[in-house]
């Protein structure tokens, strides 16, 4: 077997599970006699005078650290030259040329890119940058807003983090006969709020995909069997005629109706926490799939989970399978998005459990 030199980098927002993927790639590559080079700070690390890299092995990233959140390789500096700022500064051609030059200087056989739907969509849109090597993408995001895969790295840990946060709030909510309006991350996708809301036993779950009526919500809370609990609100919901943070908007409605409440914003706690067993197993499966794809000569593919099986799908299929949305920060780029589908079993289960989820069925 030919010895290969592969690069690996993390891009976009961080989440738990990234270090597990990196560790498993390093371990699997070592068993094949391959060298793994970590690219620091994503594309930032490829835009200087010379690429900023580190040779990876289990001494550099030991197994006991693989469970930690964040990225050992970092995800980039705010304001540094990247796809977004290159467009702002009119330096797209120079930026793309620098990426190709840096990758060529590294003499890589393959590159594993761990990213969300934005990073993966960008990789396909700018695929000529990676034409001289094999490009394998691994999906990660706490939002679970990526098509063609049933799970992404980081999602399960984020659900656990948000659930644990709400578990603690529930105790003080009971003590003070108070409702907590908790704002979950998720951008325009309600998967995180829906899953954590069901896990914690929320009284109401509001997500962008399901329309809701505030009068119905208030009546549901007023007639609940308890005078305390969690109202889970996804950050992507909107309320006509109101502005501000979604949790604050809902809280104001509750206050006006005489319902005692407080807001709570777990924010980046959802991106933190030791990686759960489920995410570690998924990370291991994705790493193994990526390494096998390199062995098989595949390129422009993404690892994906479907019905318990992990396989690769082409990046063109990833883009075609999602709902294309204009990126607000990168003119001309459309990202491939997934959302909570109307037939998601958790929606009907939540309704059966007496959780208000809006105008569903």
Is 46 inside a domain boundary?
yes
Residue 198: CATH number of its domain: 3.40.50.460
Parts of the chain with a pLDDT under 70? 1
11 and 101 assigned to the same domain: yes
| CB-CB contact of 53 with 106 (8 Å) | yes
Residue 58: CATH number of its domain: 3.40.50.450
Is 90 inside a domain boundary?
yes
Burial 273-297 (b: 16+ CB within 10 A, else e): bebbeebbebbbbbbbbbbbbbeee
Q: Could you tell me the residue range of the domain that residue 241 belongs to?
A: 158-271+342-352
User: What pLDDT, on the 0 to 100 scale, is given for residue 261?
Assistant: 98
130 and 67 assigned to the same domain: yes
User: What pLDDT, on the 0 to 100 scale, is given for residue 1?
Assistant: 63
Burial 236-254 (b: 16+ CB within 10 A, else e): bbeeeeeeeebbbbbbbbb
- Count of residues for the chain? 361
* Gap between the terminal Cα atoms of the chain: 56
When divided into structural domains, the chain yields a total of 2
User: What pLDDT, on the 0 to 100 scale, is given for residue 77?
Assistant: 81
pLDDT tens for 3-13 read: 999 999 999 88
User: What pLDDT, on the 0 to 100 scale, is given for residue 78?
Assistant: 77
129 and 197 assigned to the same domain: no
Is 305 inside a domain boundary?
yes
Q: Is 143 a catalytic residue?
A: yes
Is 330 inside a domain boundary?
no
pLDDT tens for 15-71 read: 999 999 999 999 999 999 999 999 999 998 998 889 999 999 999 999 999 999 999
238 and 302 assigned to the same domain: no
The active-site residue, picked from 14, 143, 156, 279, is: 143
168 and 252 assigned to the same domain: yes
pLDDT tens for 57-87 read: 999 999 999 999 999 999 888 777 778 788 7
| CB-CB contact of 261 with 179 (8 Å) | yes
67 and 216 assigned to the same domain: no
Give the integer Cα–Cα distance in Å for 111 and 219: 54
């Amino acid at each position: 077997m030919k010895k290969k030199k592969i690069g690996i980098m993390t891009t976009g927002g961080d989440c738990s599970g990234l270090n597990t993927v990196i560790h498993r790639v390093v371990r699997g590559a070592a068993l094949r006699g391959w060298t793994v080079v970590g690219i620091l700070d994503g594309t930032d690390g490829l835009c200087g005078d010379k690429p900023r890299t580190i040779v990876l092995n289990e001494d550099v990233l030991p197994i006991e650290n693989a469970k930690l959140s964040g990225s050992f390789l970092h995800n980039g500096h705010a304001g540094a030259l990247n796809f977004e700022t290159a467009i702002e500064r009119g330096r797209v051609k120079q930026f793309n040329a620098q990426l190709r030059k840096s990758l060529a200087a590294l003499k890589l056989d393959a590159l594993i890119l761990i990213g969300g739907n934005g990073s993966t969509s960008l990789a396909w849109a700018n695929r000529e940058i990676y034409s001289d090597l094999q490009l394998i993408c691994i999906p990660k995001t706490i939002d679970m807003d990526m098509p063609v895969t049933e799970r992404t790295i980081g999602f399960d840990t984020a659900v656990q983090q948000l659930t644990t946060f709400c578990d603690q709030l529930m105790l003080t909510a009971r003590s003070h006969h108070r409702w907590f309006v908790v704002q979950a991350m998720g951008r325009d996708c309600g998967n995180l709020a829906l899953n954590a809301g069901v896990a914690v036993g929320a009284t109401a779950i509001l997500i962008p995909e399901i329309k809701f009526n505030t009068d119905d919500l208030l009546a549901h809370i007023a007639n609940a069997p308890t005078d305390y609990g969690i109202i889970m609100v996804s950050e992507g919901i909107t309320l006509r005629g109101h502005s501000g943070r979604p949790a604050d908007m809902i809280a104001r409605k509750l206050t006006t109706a005489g319902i005692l409440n407080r807001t709570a914003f777990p924010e980046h706690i959802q991106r933190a926490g030791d990686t759960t067993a489920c995410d570690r197993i998924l990370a291991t499966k994705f790493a193994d799939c990526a390494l096998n794809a390199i062995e098989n000569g595949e390129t422009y593919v993404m690892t994906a989970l479907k019905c318990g099986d992990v396989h690769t799908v082409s990046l063109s299929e990833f883009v075609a399978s999602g709902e294309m949305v204009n990126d607000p920060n990168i003119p001309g780029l459309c990202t491939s998005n997934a959302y909570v589908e109307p037939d998601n079993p958790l929606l009907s289960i939540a309704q059966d459990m007496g959780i208000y989820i809006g105008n569903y069925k």
